[in-house]
């Protein structure tokens, strides 16, 4: 019976011209069917495919994705017709009608989506190699195109204009419309908006900045922004950025991600890994709504961003942090029955009753006590022109956009009942087991003539959504619990990350024959992987970590993706052996290149910017902080920060912090003064080291050797700040190897930033994302030539 059916199926496939494999276009009166996996439109060069994409066991969306050799349900989707209305896996079709209307029918009868475009001419649907799905007239007239209706992704050459916007997906597994929006506002400014179920607010550009302060131009009504294929994004409001790999011809996509961050991804070719080559928010906790009401966003070393409920509050939806936390108490309006809990260095943004300058803590408490709906208040000191800082009081009607960051000089006071006992911040873990797999609910109107269809639909619905969710859950739990062992990488960006055996690596390095360097904590060998990739394999000296712990850390680092961070391809943990497999960096370390004459000033400046971007990503996107040791250069002299985390057994805030460290590290000159004094260690130590590296690049001297020349920095600072200094001071200190060939203005920027970074008071140093901005400042405000 089954074989007969199969035969029938085969016959029908052969006899129907529309159902042959990978079509190049769809003509009038034909359709693509959800049941036939071959019903996929391919672009002429094979870059993109369009077809039905599964989002559950019996739920499909009609989408465009990057063609991949193997991707059934984890393809990189760039456009979706019916994201909020998935169609049934039976009888659903995309049909091009005689009228020229393109219609997506659900279960054969209901219209889930249509272009609504009607053309008198004979239409044809084609997918182009730039990812645009176009409905043409025979005469070449465009009747409709997917580029005019973006979902969450912009492709190179696809303009974002007046009435278009990007809307993020709801979650990694749920492609329906989420809460974040990228659009042109009515004042012509390109913005990012959090549009949640209960609240909405703009988080980029920062609302407290006037448009011109944010570098925007509010008077151009054109309202169009476009990314070009080289990686240059420019908008009519003056906002521009270029990708870290600007200029290279690679595949690119600009996506408004699930977490509200806008990221530009690029990759060399099909099957390669996507890397982040630009992102708008370097501090993801500043994205509104990320943790929902009554919770606090913070960064933790090793697992990245985390949400915590406020004391006395409980997570609302165990599978979804964006729903936030609910109070476990009822608040009375009587002032005598409530008190305040203080949380240090926590900011809650917005939803103020107003702001009250020069209010003492007591006055602020009283104010909130007597406002029945006041949920708490923000209390902070703002630096002013006044003789001293004065305190500001902000009573809150809701506690949203909570964000903990150590640099923030302010506290939040949360109103709680006097009687309750509240511990400080509670850490609720997302409970993966409670992520109930939902079935696609679809109500079809009653039909008299077609009871059997209904039965089939219900029958197929009944087999819930399985595979996709299982994969997502597994991936999610792996990240959350860090108990991963196999690490085949379920996240699409870590597909190439894997575990090697010792004998494999022995073979790869020809018995650890070619030593290419000795870095922090180990010797590095060159090797060629079976897939011909050249790798740098670092053999760590000590196995001071258990295997599970090592694996957990390695997998965290393996998940980092940034142009300017070295790529970790895999690892080996056997017995006492711990090895890391990195990409090979052709030009070796920055220090080596400075001593040879290989890098001119232009290259040095780019290296400074790249390294700053890599560090900013490390600091603010993923991990609290690590101490990077080394900047390596690839074949194009692109810098990549390496030796962070693992290979450097000095991670702060963990058991690795170890008083012997100054002995371990030979590069004292780069070390921030906090290390030697008793001050707390923050990510600002990296900023200091980075500043020293910049000074090294400008002067050509290794600061580590400069211990006898301690006066150098103060001297430079004095010259830099004095108004009547002549230009010649710069020539005195600049690396003679540059032979005077450098852009004075850029050199000034470089030295200025370096001096900011090496300030002795860590609070006066900028954070890395500010460093990036400072370095690029001169591009935004070109000097007037008189």
Binding mask 46-85 for ligand NAG (x = CB under 6 A): ----------x-----------x-xx--x-----------
Element at 10 (helix H, strand E):
helix 2-15
If one counts every other C-beta atom within 10 angstroms of the C-beta of residue 222, the result is 12
Q: Does 383 bind ligand NAG (CB under 6 A)?
A: no
Q: Does 496 bind ligand NAG (CB under 6 A)?
A: no
Q: Does 419 bind ligand NAG (CB under 6 A)?
A: no
The crossing angle, in degrees rounded to 10, of helices 744-757 and 712-721 is: 120
Which residue from 6, 9, 212, 329 is in contact with ligand NAG, where contact means CB under 6 A? 329
The interface with ligand NAG within residues 231-260 (CB under 6 A) comprises: 232, 234, 236, 240, 242
Q: CA–CA separation, 123 vs 121, rounded Å? A: 6
Q: Does 371 bind ligand NAG (CB under 6 A)?
A: no
If one counts every other C-beta atom within 10 angstroms of the C-beta of residue 382, the result is 13
Q: Does 574 bind ligand NAG (CB under 6 A)?
A: no
Please choose, out of 44-52, 219-227, 548-556, 578-586, the segment that lies near ligand NAG by the rule CB under 6 A. Answer: 219-227
DSSP 24: S
DSSP characters for 19-74? Answer: GSSSBSEEETTEEEETT-TT--EE-TTSSEEEEEEEEETTEEEEEEEE--SS-SS-
| Residues flagged as binding site for ATP | 538
Q: Quote the least distance from Cβ 404 to ligand NAG, whole Å.
A: 10
DSSP 763: G
Spell out where 346-455 has E strands: 346-348, 356-357, 376-382, 390-396, 402-404, 410-417
Q: Quote the least distance from Cβ 220 to ligand NAG, whole Å.
A: 4
Tokens representing 300 are 């933790």
Q: Quote the least distance from Cβ 328 to ligand NAG, whole Å.
A: 6
Element at 568 (helix H, strand E):
strand 568-574
Q: CA–CA separation, 30 vs 16, rounded Å? A: 10
Nearer to ligand NAG, 349 or 468 (CB): 468
Q: Does 318 bind ligand NAG (CB under 6 A)?
A: no
Q: Quote the least distance from Cβ 775 to ligand NAG, whole Å.
A: 15
Please choose, out of 115-123, 220-228, 606-614, 755-763, the segment that lies near ligand NAG by the rule CB under 6 A. Answer: 220-228
The interface with ligand NAG within residues 336-355 (CB under 6 A) comprises: 344
Q: Quote the least distance from Cβ 545 to ligand NAG, whole Å.
A: 28
Phi/psi at 324 (5° precision): 75, -155
Please work out the total of residues on this chain that contact ligand NAG, with binding judged by CB under 6 A. Answer: 28
Binding mask 420-439 for ligand NAG (x = CB under 6 A): ---xx-------------x-
Please choose, out of 40-48, 128-136, 324-332, 413-421, the segment that lies near ligand NAG by the rule CB under 6 A. Answer: 324-332
Sequence-distant (6+) residues with CB within 8 A of 175 are 55, 61, 77, 80, 83, 169
Looking up tokens 């004075």, which residue turns up? 744
Q: Do residues 39 and 51 lie in contact, with contact meaning Cβ atoms separated by under 8 Å?
A: yes
Q: Does 358 bind ligand NAG (CB under 6 A)?
A: yes
Nearer to ligand NAG, 381 or 386 (CB): 386
What value does the CA radius of gyration of the chain take, rounded to a whole number of Å?
29
Binding mask 113-152 for ligand NAG (x = CB under 6 A): ----------------------------------------
| Residues flagged as binding site | 538
Tokens representing 610 are 């790249």
The burial of 224, by beta-carbon neighbours within 10 Å (0-12 exposed, 13-18 middle, 19 or more buried), is given as: middle
Nearer to ligand NAG, 56 or 156 (CB): 56
Q: Quote the least distance from Cβ 183 to ligand NAG, whole Å.
A: 16
Q: Do residues 75 and 53 lie in contact, with contact meaning Cβ atoms separated by under 8 Å?
A: yes
Sequence-distant (6+) residues with CB within 8 A of 412 are 342, 343, 346, 347, 348, 376, 377, 378, 379, 399, 402
Q: Quote the least distance from Cβ 566 to ligand NAG, whole Å.
A: 22
Q: Which residues bind ligand NAG (CB under 6 A)?
A: 56, 68, 70-71, 74, 170, 174, 176, 220, 222, 224, 232, 234, 236, 240, 242, 328-330, 344, 358, 386, 390, 423-424, 438, 492, 495
């Amino acid at each position: 019976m089954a074989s007969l059916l199969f035969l029938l199926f085969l016959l029908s496939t052969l006899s129907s011209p529309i159902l042959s494999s990978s079509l190049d276009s769809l003509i009038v009166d034909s359709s693509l069917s959800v049941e036939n996996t071959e019903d996929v439109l391919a672009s002429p060069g094979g870059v993109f495919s369009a077809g039905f994409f599964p989002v559950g066991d019996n739920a499909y969306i009609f989408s465009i994705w990057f063609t991949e050799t193997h991707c059934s349900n984890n393809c990189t989707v760039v456009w979706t017709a019916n994201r909020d209305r998935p169609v049934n896996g039976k009888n659903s079709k995309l049909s091009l009608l005689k009228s020229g209307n393109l219609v997506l029918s659900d279960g054969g009868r209901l219209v889930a989506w249509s272009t609504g475009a009607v053309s008198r001419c004979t239409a044809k649907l084609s997918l182009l190699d730039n990812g645009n799905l176009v409905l043409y007239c025979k005469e070449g007239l465009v009747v409709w195109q997917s580029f005019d209706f973006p979902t969450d992704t912009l492709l190179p050459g696809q303009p974002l204009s007046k009435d278009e916007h990007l809307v993020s997906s709801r979650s990694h597994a749920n492609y329906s419309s989420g809460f974040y929006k990228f659009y042109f506002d009515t004042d012509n400014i390109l913005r990012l908006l959090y549009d949640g179920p209960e609240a909405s607010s703009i988080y980029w550009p920062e609302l407290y900045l006037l448009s011109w302060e944010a570098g925007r131009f509010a008077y151009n009504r054109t309202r169009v922004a476009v990314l070009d294929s080289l990686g240059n994004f420019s908008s009519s409001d003056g906002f521009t950025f270029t990708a870290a790999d600007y200029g290279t011809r690679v595949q690119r996509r600009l996506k408004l991600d699930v977490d509200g961050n806008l990221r530009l991804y690029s990759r060399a070719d099909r099957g390669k890994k996507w890397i982040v080559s630009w992102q708008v928010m370097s501090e993801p906790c500043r994205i509104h709504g990320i943790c929902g009401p009554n919770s606090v966003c913070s960064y933790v070393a090793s697992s990245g961003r985390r949400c915590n409920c406020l004391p006395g509050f409980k997570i609302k939806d165990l599978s979804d942090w964006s729903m936030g936390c609910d109070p476990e108490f009822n608040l009375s309006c009587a002032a005598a029955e409530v008190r305040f809990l203080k949380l240090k260095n926590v900011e809650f943004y917005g939803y103020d009753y107003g702001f009250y300058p020069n209010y003492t803590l007591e006055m602020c408490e009283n104010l909130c006590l007597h406002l029945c709906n006041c949920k708490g208040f923000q209390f902070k000191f703002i630096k002013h022109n006044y003789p001293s800082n004065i305190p500001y009081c902000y009573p809150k009607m809701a506690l949203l956009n909570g964000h903990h960051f150590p640099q923030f000089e302010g506290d939040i006071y949360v109103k709680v009942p006097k009687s309750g006992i509240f511990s400080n911040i509670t850490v609720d873990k997302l409970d993966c087991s409670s992520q109930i797999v939902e079935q696609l609910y679809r109500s079809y109107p009653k039909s008299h003539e077609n009871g059997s269809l209904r039965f089939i639909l219900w029958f197929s619905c009944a087999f819930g959504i399985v595979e996709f969710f299982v994969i997502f859950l597994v991936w999610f739990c792996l990240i959350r619990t860090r108990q991963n062992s196999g690490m085949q990488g379920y996240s699409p960006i870590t597909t190439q990350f894997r575990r090697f055996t010792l004998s494999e690596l022995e073979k790869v390095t020809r018995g650890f024959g070619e030593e290419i360097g000795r870095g922090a904590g180990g010797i590095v060998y060159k090797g060629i992987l079976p897939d011909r990739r050249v790798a740098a394999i670092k053999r760590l000296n000590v196995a001071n970590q258990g295997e599970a712990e090592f694996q957990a850390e390695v997998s965290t680092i393996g998940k980092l993706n940034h142009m300017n961070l070295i790529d970790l391809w895999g690892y080996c943990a056997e017995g006492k052996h711990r090895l890391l497999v990195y990409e090979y960096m052709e030009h070796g370390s920055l220090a080596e290149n400075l001593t040879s004459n290989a890098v001119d000033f232009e290259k040095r400046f780019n290296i400074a910017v790249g390294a700053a971007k890599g560090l900013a990503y490390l600091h603010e996107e993923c991990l609290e902080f690590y101490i990077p040791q080394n900047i390596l250069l690839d074949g194009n002299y692109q810098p990549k920060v390496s030796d962070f985390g693992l290979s450097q057994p000095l991670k702060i805030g963990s058991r690795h912090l170890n008083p012997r460290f100054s002995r371990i590290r030979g590069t004292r000159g780069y070390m921030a003064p906090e290390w030697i004094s008793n001050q707390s260690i923050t990510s600002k130590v990296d900023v200091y080291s980075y500043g020293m590296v910049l000074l090294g690049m400008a002067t050509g001297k290794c600061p580590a050797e400069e211990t006898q020349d301690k006066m150098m920095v103060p001297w430079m600072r004095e010259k830099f700040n004095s108004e009547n200094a002549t230009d010649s001071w710069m020539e005195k200190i600049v690396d003679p190897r540059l032979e005077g060939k450098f852009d004075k203005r850029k050199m000034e920027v470089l030295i200025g930033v370096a001096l900011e970074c090496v300030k002795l008071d860590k609070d006066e140093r900028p954070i890395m994302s500010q460093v990036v901005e400072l370095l690029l400042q001169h591009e935004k405000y070109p000097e007037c030539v008189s």
